[in-house]
Structure 1
Amino acid sequence: MLKNLFAAIPVDTSREAFDDLLNVPGLRIERIVSHGQKSPPGFWYEQDEDEWVIVLQGSATLQLEGRDTLVSLEPGDHYWIPAGLRHRVDATAPGRPTIWLAVHR
């Protein structure tokens, strides 16, 4: 079945939307749509799986534990987050959707 990553963008901007596009053993690809959301203060993701993210539209800034420099992502920018690396979303674009793909393995 043909689908489009930019179709059916959620209109509820009060929360992020997470949609699995593919979920098979050893691989999960999800579309994330953010509307200015960021990680709550003091919250860190620490995942048991590797994650590769790419921003397709909008922008995002990641904070990685133990690193002074933030990672800024614009459309087309991608970043590898190894399993166990604590990270958080410092910001996403306000006033417009940020659309990401996240690949987990």
Structure 2
Amino acid sequence: MSDARFGSLLEGLPAHPQPDEILTTLAALPGTRIERIVSTGQSSPDGFWYDQAWDEFVLLVAGAATLQVEGEGDRMLTPGDWALLPARTRHRVAATTASEPTVWLAVHVGEPAGEPG
């Protein structure tokens, strides 16, 4: 019997804005975590920057977002756009759409066990 798992990144999306992002771990493998993030208008708090000790690959699946990378300014992301954020790359989410869910696929590589983003 196979251990294969299947799903849809667009299944079960909220119909209305939520108070917080919805994070769902899709797979946790040694040193790698794959998650779906659903944003409904959320952004990083003022002055907050992610500064992770691991690499992160993000793909915007639906909606729209503005990603800020320190020293590089704002980058508007639309469906199909992706970013590779090497470890220690300071970044933040400046905005996400509130009129529809913004769906991200995030792959965290080299993440220490027990230290999710």
- TM superposition score normalised by structure 2: 0.83
Shift of 1:26: 1.7
Q: Gaps spanning 5+ residues in structure 1: where? A: none
CA contact (8 A) 2:21 2:37 kept: yes
Identical counterparts, % of pairs: 49
Shift of 1:41: 0.4
Distance in 2 between residues matched to 1:7 and 1:65, nearest whole Å = 33
CA contact (8 A) 2:14 2:101 kept: no
Matched, 1:73 2:77: yes
Q: Gaps spanning 5+ residues in structure 2: where? A: 110-117
Larger Rg: 2
- TM superposition score normalised by structure 1: 0.92
Residue 22 (structure 1) aligns with = 27
CA offset digits 1:18-43 (Å, max 9, x no partner): 11001010211100000010001011
> Considering only aligned residues, what root-mean-square deviation do their CA atoms show, in Å?
1.3
Distance in 2 between residues matched to 1:89 and 1:48, nearest whole Å = 18
Name the stretch that deviates more: 8-17 or 23-32: 8-17
CA contact (8 A) 1:10 1:17 kept: no
